[in-house]
Structure 1
Amino acid sequence: MLQDFLTQFHIDEMVFGAIVASVILAFILVVVIFSVRYKSQQEKILELRERLGEKKEKIDLLEESLREVQILNASQLQEIQQYQDLEERYRKEQEKIEEQLKAARERIEEQQERISTLHGEKKELEAKLGNALENLAKVEEEMEKVLKRNEFWVEQLSELRTKHEALKLRLRKYEG
């Protein structure tokens, strides 16, 4: 418990021992002084009073030092608390940023999967488009063939009409 008291107020054990020893020594001196003769007792009492005054001054100085140390300790504790508060705030901000980063990575992975899917669909559509273009080219080629045949038959039909008209005219001439 004494150790806790000393560390709490940052008092060196030697200083505390000196204070305690001084008080004990003063008490012993008082006892010794009363045991000698009355006259010597008076002189010694005066001497002890002087010493006691010095010791009181030392004690006062030590108490002042103790108060300064306590004030310094309180300000240091306050600074430590401020640093702990800052550290906690930065830790929370870091956690928030890490969560945002994780969410962003997940969105990127989803988008990459979607891009891959769309890329696959694009390749399928390109293949279908290629097939459709080939089929269209075949159909156009077939249509050209059909149109040429139609033109041939239209020409044949036109020639037949011309011949038919000519025959009709000849028949009218013979009938008429």
Structure 2
Amino acid sequence: MDDRHSRQSWLEAGLSQLAARGADGLSIVAVARELGVTKGSFYWHFRDLKDYRGALLQQWEAQYTQLAIERMEADGGSALDKLRRMLSLPAAGAERLGLALRSWALSDKEVARTLKRVDARRTAYLAGLYTQLGLDAARARTLAQFTYHALNGRFLLGDMVPAAAQLDLLLTLLTAPNDEAVAETAV
């Protein structure tokens, strides 16, 4: 079977359409047109639009969360190295898809549940990195939430990757073992 007709190609094209047009602009016909196939190909892989949308959510969760975390771990390094890489990642178009999903979640409970699960998984990963750096669990969770919100905000505000000096300052402040270290760094 031609790759353009594969389930995976339908999912990739659907995520692209979702990022470009939002959930309301996602249609079988538009995705088929992008793939250069008839919509009959769609029904080979999916029962209907609802089934397709569910598969898109699963694909997004796997690709942008589970596989992303696995890649971060496979690249190795210390927890600090991983935080540095994470804070330096360019959005690479993911911000539009994230915004489309968050907008879609306002009107769809399944999407909202998926986002809640993904946000919790990503935050837990960050908290684990902070814990590996010696921070207590409560502080690690708080900093993980702050970091996650800052990353999402950075992507939505134009993907300004911090310069090396800015990143050093951020990581020093975020990973300081106690309030005295934070005060010393700020001086």
TM-score (norm 2): 0.23
Normalized per residue, the structure richer in helix is: 1
Instruction: Answer 1 or 2: higher relative contact order, Cα 8 Å, separation at least 6.
Output: 2
TM-score (norm 1): 0.24
